[in-house]
Amino acid sequence: QKEVEQDPGPLSVPEGAIVSLNCTYSNSAFQYFMWYRQYSRKGPELLMYTYSSGNKEDGRFTAQVDKSSKYISLFIRDSQPSDSATYLCAMSVGVQSGTASKLTFGTGTRLQVTL
Amino acid sequence: EPEVTQTPSHQVTQMGQEVILRCVPISNHLYFYWYRQILGQKVEFLVSFYNNEISEKSEIFDDQFSVERPDGSNFTLKIRSTKLEDSAMYFCASRTQYTDTQYFGPGTRLTVL
């Protein structure tokens, strides 16, 4: 079983739609969860991060974590063509563990928002 | 806003040659990382570096790889004898000691011929 699983897509939605992107994980030691956006042949750009179960909102983006189910989601409201990119989930065991806290990534979901 | 920078943006090399990829992390960050992404695949951890030594490395990071912080600002990844399968995007990332949030550079695309 892969440590982090993410549907690769592609996911195509019309402008204005609500997008739901999801990842599951198997390692219960993961405590810190991030979402990155990556445009083609560019570096990952941090969108959101959270430690705790529950929801965290930032503008049109909401990150949701359910540690009991080992499931995280990113919701994008009022999607725009400029949101077209690959969305990567990433997670780590956290700096409190005393480790280097490397990130483990999902494969990324390619999102296309059409006019 | 401070950002991680990487040079060169694209490096083409012949198999067996040595390459050095350069990164300038965000200035107040203390933890540094290299990741790679083979085309169409996920981002994979290579190595982490703190207090002038490697703190963790993956199975990918074998004896052909090394990292160095030659001065107060640069962080480098050296591949001693490149192989075709080393062709990938290489990303540098950094973070402070207080948070897990890592900030990534734009990457260096390495092409081994």
Q: A22-61: per-residue pLDDT in tens? A: 999 999 999 999 999 999 888 999 999 998 888 999 999 9
- Quickly count: other Cβ atoms within 10 Å of residue A91's Cβ: 25
Taking the Cβ of residue B59 and every Cβ of chain A, the question of whether any pair is shorter than 8 Å is answered with: no
- Residue B61: pLDDT over 70: yes
CA atoms within 13 A on the CB side of A95: 12
A&B contacts, CB < 8 Å:
67
Q: What is the rounded distance in angstroms from the CA atom of residue A10 to the CA atom of residue A33? A: 22
Q: What is the rounded distance in angstroms from the CA atom of residue B55 to the CA atom of residue B13? A: 29
Residue of A102, A104, A105, A107 to mutate, testing the B interface (most B Cβ within 10 Å of its Cβ): A102
| Chain A environment of B39 (Cβ under 8 Å) | none
Contact: B97, A100; criterion CB under 8 Å: no
Contact: B104, A107; criterion CB under 8 Å: no
Question: What local confidence, expressed as pLDDT, does residue B100 receive?
Answer: 86
- Residue B81: pLDDT over 80: yes
- Residue B28: pLDDT over 70: yes
Tokens of A102: 């490397």
- Residue B65: pLDDT over 80: yes
- Residue A98: pLDDT over 70: no
